Structure 1
Amino acid sequence: MKKIFSILAASAVLLASCSDFLDEDLKSSLSPTNTYTSTHGFEVGVTGLYEFARSEWNTWGGDDNAFTHSAATPYEVLQIGTDIAVTGHNDGTLQVFDNLSYTPLTGFIKSFWEFGYGLVSNANQILQYSEENTNWDKPTDKIGFQAEARFFRAYGYRYLVYLYGDVPYVDKVQEKFRIDFTRTPKAEVLKKMIEDLEFASAHLPEDPDKVQVGRLTKWAAEHLLSEVYLMAGMPDKAEVAANNVINSHKFSLIENRFGVRKDKEGDVFSDMFVENNQNRTAGNTESIWVMQLEYNTVGGGGEEDDWTKRAWVPKYWQLDGFQIADTLGGRGLAQLIPLHWWIDGAAFYDASDIRNSEYNIKRNWYCNNPKSDKYGKKTELTETLWKAGQLCPAITKFFYGVIDRGGDEGYGGNTKDRVKFRLAETYLLLAEAQIMQGDAEGAAESINVVRKRAHANPVTAAEVSVDFLLDERIRELVGEELRRFTLTRLGKLKERTLKYNSRAAMEDKHLLWPIPQDVINSNTGAEFPQNPGWE
């Protein structure tokens, strides 16, 4: 869908806003003092926050992007080196996260730090200038913009605390160059994140049908609050927040076929991931917050924004008898190869579970090149092809194959709108909160809501555990959740990675990423210790 507003001016404001990782360098004619003088100016600035946030996995930039990692695999490094996938691609930026050989000098170690603090810094800017401005169109404008800014500040810190642990908490614009930052305990950062999200929940719009597509509502804040409460060890409050979303009756699990392929082959689960089916305007009542990245739309995503399409699709096109086709996932690069234990495990999915159907996990590969004598013949999966990343099961959540791109077959970017929060995960967050409080019966009931939609057998309280929940999150959310974050929150990153992933010899030091070496080297005015094991 369309980007919410014109983004060019917003990007200019935000990109001019910080040097180093938190300091201001205001040189543009679109500086905050010139821009944040009216409701329209804040509309432009907040639009920039949405643009910055959706650049979280931007690869090589593009003309109008607010942020770039300047490398091909930012999304993949948050999935690899865990219990779900290894890589079948020789990209050096990914391999070091596959075999856990990254260091404080590794590019993504620094770029995710910069992404988190870039979002924080720009949110702080809006919050500060909103307190100074008196020229508002409506009395509610100020608090509304502040609510969005505080949501995004918490979203930026979410990346930082998951990846680095204790990080400097900064809630003011840093107008002078500083070399004396100190690390704030994670518990204190989480407390501040909770305050921001509670404020956002209180002041964001409640009706998702009365906001522009892609814009935040109260329920996005409540969903994220549930997760952050769990991070902070407050499962009782996490349960309340998750139930607030569920009991709002604004959202419902998709139970019937819908959208652009409802009359074609597929099922209710696969429908959610078909291009153009992500938003409420398409009939998707499950989506709580959707980042707008639709292909070939004014203000939409570009080719560099999101390469998750390439990640989960094998390099089938290297094999005799195949050619690149969007119906097969496009130009897959096998950056993430699913591990056998879950995707090939006979006991992992119930026989009736539609999340394991051919519409959702492609296991049957038929040669599609009409010029080949193999055309129409099935190529069997072998361990050799699997390890090479040339043929393996593929998660179809990241396929195209619906929209006519005027012959642009195998388009590189995955500019399908990106669902960040959906109701099925809210139920699983609720189950997590219930497990943490010893309520196995309640957790089973919450999980079974999700399993019922999937046509999977119900589970009993006796079967419920943290590991069962983590398995269920794979079945429901694989590829959507950032697996490293989930395992970190539940204290299972090392245990499950060692159990299921023989490539990743995980040690305690890998539970957190190292602090970027440049940050430590430049912060000479105060002690800034490295994370344990990375000294």
Structure 2
Amino acid sequence: MKRIIFYISISLIAVNLSGCFDSAILDEVPLDFASPENSYVTEADFNSAVIALYDQARLALSDGEHRPLDHIYGTDLGYNGANQLNQRFGSYLATLLPTSDPAIYHWRQYYRIISGANIILNRLEGSKVSDQHKILVEAQAKLFRGLAYRNLAHLYGGVPIELEETQSPKTDYVRASREEVYQQAANDLEIASANLPGITEVRDGEISNLAAYHILAEVYVSLERWNDAIEAAGVVIDDPSTSLMTERFGSLKDEPGDVYWDLSRRYNQNRSVGNTEGIWVWQYEVDVPGGVTSSSGLSGPMLERDHSPRPWSFTVRDPSGVAPFLPQGVSDNTGGRGIGRFRGTNHFNYGIWQYDWEDMRNSEYNFIRDVAFNNPASEWFGLKLSDKMSQFRVTLEDTIRNFYPYQAKVTTPGQHPSELYDNPVLKTLISSSAGTTYSDQYHIRLAETYLLRAEAYLGSGDSQSAADDINVVRERAKARLITAGEVDIDFILDERMRELGTEEKRRLTLNRLGKLYERTSKYCEGYPGVANFGVDVQPYHNLFPIPFSEIERNTGAVLIQNPGYAAE
């Protein structure tokens, strides 16, 4: 009720003021409470506003077990194995509606970012900020606005474009075309890439010109401006401060593993530790204000909780009647505190590796396919699940949730915060609060830039250069190299799965290419215990629906719904 009263009050104030003949009233600056008039004045004010954009973007793309994971559930990457048809894309027809949370949340979150950026840009000119700092703040705000418009275009197609601070209710929005939205994103990102500092001049997690160039390259691909995309991606790739990591490094470099495994170990994502591959990394700290993650509850990126299996749920006992797995999540290759909800497709788990099973990214360190019994009291202790496979593959839950191949990058074996260990010796985790992926998270990584440029080369008709870029990534993985004749968009999409996996916001990639329906209907098996396996994706799902609430409140013009969706 308070929220409704607030909006009505603001509307009434706007109406009353519009009829007042003394315009000076409108220029009054409140002195005893924060307002836009007194909150956007100094460099510190604008820096705080930009930090809010970081926070909103991280929330949309990385935090929590719901909305960021909308981008991997129900794709060629994986599906909801928990038999939840009306959420997490267990069923498209039940989940993706004009009134559903995914459609509403992403729309509103990106427009919050756009609104915040517009306020910054509108207030910047009349502020006390130095000219030099104005250039920086403008570039930062335009990167976030460009990112938001890019993602809206990927998800919804054409959307309304708003470039001014909205100071009164507006109900006559109309949709621009998808191409126009991409062009607006390009306009913003061109300014950002030209004016943001270089990657060696920013702190860990801070946006640089290379982050802007990477996003710009993807927008150019979406506009089929192939040569511009090649050039923008080339700025990132050719920068002397960036390179793929090819040697062991970081916090566990002396432990068994490989360089791809090192990329995702805790503390290893940032330039300050020698990682020259991270272009933009979301920062997380445990029990630190603003650090998001906590030792007392679930917060932050929760890929461990969703993608890791739950072998502790097996009901099988050894001949003495003892459970071979400890009863809680464990910080080793049993997956931490996983609940086995995001089950990878067979294409992700097996199909993409048929090209080269010895690919480093499919090694025993990176794609966990077997697990040792970890209960010291069991006579099977030290044996592997594969040694007793027939007994552990009896029920549907055994295969779908209790154990399946999963990516090691979603968890931090042996590196969970000390506060989360119920038993520090056995490394059993406190079940009520563990489940977060306790590491900084890549938003942009150089390997993806190579694959993005390969896509641009392919679009331009240069298959050999596309193969060359793909092979840079594959060579690091010590994988079989590809020939120019083998390159097509599906190979690039498979290579993105091999290299990025659950790290990628897969839906954004598939939607921008119009491949969501094709690849999901082909590769996503879905939950075997429900009608049609819950995989009822339709061609029109290549775009999200426009939220009905936005259509309904837009009384001054028609906000046209995407084809295939009901009016409400």
Q: TM-score normalised to the size of structure 2?
A: 0.84
SS of residue matched to 2:244: coil
Show CA shifts across 1:469-501 (max 9, x none): 111111101111111111222232222222212
Mapped partners of 2:311, 2:123: distance in 1: 52
Contact 1:80-1:98 within 8 A present in 2 as well: no
Whether 1:308 aligns to 2:339 is no
Name the structure 1 match of 2:324: 321
Mapped partners of 2:513, 2:217: distance in 1: 14
For 2:537, which of 502, 506, 520 is the aligned residue?
A: 506
SS of residue matched to 1:290: strand
Name the structure 1 match of 2:41: 37
Contact 1:295-1:416 within 8 A present in 2 as well: no
Mapped partners of 2:352, 2:37: distance in 1: 61
SS of residue matched to 2:131: coil
Q: Return closer, same or farther for 1:19/1:236 CA change in 2, 3 Å cut-off.
A: farther
For 1:370, which of 376, 379, 392 is the aligned residue?
A: 376
Superposition map of 1:242-257 within 5 A: 242-257=233-248
Contact 2:248-2:259 within 8 A present in 1 as well: yes
Contact 2:53-2:117 within 8 A present in 1 as well: yes
Name the structure 1 match of 2:356: 350
Mapped partners of 1:278, 1:58: distance in 2: 15
Whether 1:274 aligns to 2:277 is no
RMSD value, Cα: 2.5
Mapped partners of 1:292, 1:55: distance in 2: 12
- By how many angstroms is 1:349 displaced? 4.6
Whether 1:106 aligns to 2:100 is yes
SS of residue matched to 1:397: helix
Contact 1:77-1:97 within 8 A present in 2 as well: no
Name the structure 2 match of 1:178: 170
Name the structure 2 match of 1:148: 140
Deviates further, 371-380 or 328-337: 371-380
Show CA shifts across 1:76-95 (max 9, x none): 22112221211212456634
Q: TM-score normalised to the size of structure 1?
A: 0.89
Superposition map of 1:110-259 within 5 A: 110-133=104-127, 135-136=128-129, 138-206=130-198, 208-259=199-250
Contact 2:53-2:116 within 8 A present in 1 as well: yes
Deviates further, 149-158 or 500-509: 500-509
Show CA shifts across 1:441-477 (max 9, x none): 1111110000000000111111111111111111101
Count the aligned residue pairs. Answer: 504
SS of residue matched to 2:152: helix
Q: Where does the alignment leave 5 or more consecutive residues of structure 1 unmatched?
A: 1-14, 61-71
Mapped partners of 1:122, 1:451: distance in 2: 40
Mapped partners of 1:491, 1:404: distance in 2: 39
Name the structure 2 match of 1:9: none
SS of residue matched to 1:479: helix
- By how many angstroms is 1:52 displaced? 1.3
Show CA shifts across 1:231-258 (max 9, x none): 1221111111111111112200001000
- By how many angstroms is 1:317 displaced? 2.0
Deviates further, 474-483 or 87-96: 87-96
Residue type of the partner of 2:562?
N
Superposition map of 1:403-442 within 5 A: 403=415, 405-409=417-421, 410=429, 411-442=434-465
Q: Where does the alignment leave 5 or more consecutive residues of structure 2 unmatched?
A: 15-28, 315-322, 422-428, 527-534
Name the structure 2 match of 1:86: 79
Whether 1:528 aligns to 2:559 is yes
Name the structure 2 match of 1:46: 50
Q: Return closer, same or farther for 1:40/1:473 CA change in 2, 3 Å cut-off.
A: same
Mapped partners of 2:483, 2:234: distance in 1: 21
Mapped partners of 2:105, 2:207: distance in 1: 25
Deviates further, 376-385 or 151-160: 376-385
Name the structure 2 match of 1:66: none
Whether 1:299 aligns to 2:290 is yes
Q: Return closer, same or farther for 1:272/1:59 CA change in 2, 3 Å cut-off.
A: closer
- By how many angstroms is 1:185 displaced? 1.0
Structure 1 or 2, whichever has the larger Rg, is 2
- By how many angstroms is 1:97 displaced? 4.8
SS of residue matched to 1:326: coil
Residue type of the partner of 1:104?
P
Name the structure 2 match of 1:287: 278
Question: In percent, how many aligned pairs have the same letter?
Answer: 37
Name the structure 2 match of 1:65: none
Mapped partners of 1:399, 1:180: distance in 2: 47
Q: Return closer, same or farther for 1:93/1:19 CA change in 2, 3 Å cut-off.
A: farther
Q: Return closer, same or farther for 1:371/1:29 CA change in 2, 3 Å cut-off.
A: farther
Whether 1:450 aligns to 2:443 is no
- By how many angstroms is 1:394 displaced? 1.2
